[in-house]
Amino acid sequence: MTAAPPAPAPFIVGAARSGTTLLRMMLDSHGELAIPFETQLLPELIDAAKEPGADADSIADLLVGHRRWPDFGLEADEMRAEFRAIEPFDLAEAARAFYRAYARAQGKPRWGDKSPGYALHIRRISKLLPEARFVHLIRDGRDVRLSQLQRGSDHPTVAKHAKRWKRRIEIGRTQGAQVEHYMELRYEDLVTDPEPELRRICEFVDLDFDQATLDYHESADERLSEIDRDLAEGHELAGARERPLFKASDRLEVHKLTREPPRADRVAGWKRDMPAADIAEFERVAGDLLSELGYEVGTVKSKTEAPA
């Protein structure tokens, strides 16, 4: 008997600070769907599986040695045993075993992923996991900039940030056009009128709509508890460069708004809070993409310009 194909799995991707955690909380509240906080490890596993001598043990060691492994609440020895049971060893089946184990721990039958950086790896992940259905969440880059400034103190220049945002969006859209299952979603639509957007995603991944996705904030504290631990900023695998820890309190602070219902005041905050010079510089670098995406460009005058 031929095994049934894996159920569609939503993969939430996008630029950092675009609302991907909010969307993860919403979809993870669905009664049938479990989505880890962030994995960020599939590209490394794909590369490692191509190395001579790669096997179940070496790939399992890479997985359980990853800096994010403790976020998932799984037992390393049990994961190793599941990998060894795959005969012959196959990375796609190993990845599915990991995601299924996470979903099982949450009491859910279906799984997905939320890793913004996978926007740069859509083709590779789609080839590995054909059931992956990519949900590209796009937010006005100027609001992304403002949100990023609220996190930590080491920030790139406006021009560098605009270039980085533009690159992430363009690569995601280009690769998305080259795979079978890809959709785009605007952050602005998600926070101002979430139900139609969530229904659209549920249809995209063959799930019935669940009203619980609108009440995600009621279980936010419980779900955020997964990341209530320090996280190394760098990778902790052998040979990696040591970097300072991202403290547990900081991780929780960054995502505190997921404890609240969607806030429409998070839309177009750049008009109110972004210096005119920064707006001009961001638009100089990424204005063409902002316009292509339908965002307002070139209409905000300096608040500080002197009267004639």
pLDDT at 307 over 80: no
Parent domain of 173: 9-37+114-292
192, part of any domain? yes
pLDDT tens profile 51-64: 999 999 999 999 99
If you count them, how many residues does the chain have? 308
Report residue 232's pLDDT band, with 50, 70 and 90 as the boundaries.
Answer: low
Report residue 221's pLDDT band, with 50, 70 and 90 as the boundaries.
Answer: low
pLDDT at 189 over 90: yes
What does the block give as tokens for 38? 């962030």
Question: Given the structure tokens 């955690």, which residue do they identify?
Answer: 21
- How many CB atoms lie under 10 A from the CB of residue 55? 12
Q: What is the CATH number of the domain that holds 144?
A: 3.40.50.300
Whole-angstrom distance, CA of residue 221 vs CA of residue 260: 10
286, part of any domain? yes
Whole-angstrom distance, CA of residue 48 vs CA of residue 149: 35
pLDDT tens profile 126-185: 999 999 999 999 999 999 999 888 876 568 999 999 999 999 999 999 999 999 999 999
pLDDT tens profile 257-302: 666 777 787 899 999 999 999 999 999 999 999 999 999 999 765 4
How much is the pLDDT for 255? 62
Report residue 216's pLDDT band, with 50, 70 and 90 as the boundaries.
Answer: confident
246, part of any domain? yes
Number of domain units in the chain: 1
198, part of any domain? yes
60, part of any domain? no
297, part of any domain? no
56, part of any domain? no
- This prediction has a pTM of 0.88
Our CA dihedral for 62, 63, 66, 72, rounded to 10 degrees, sits at -170
69, part of any domain? no
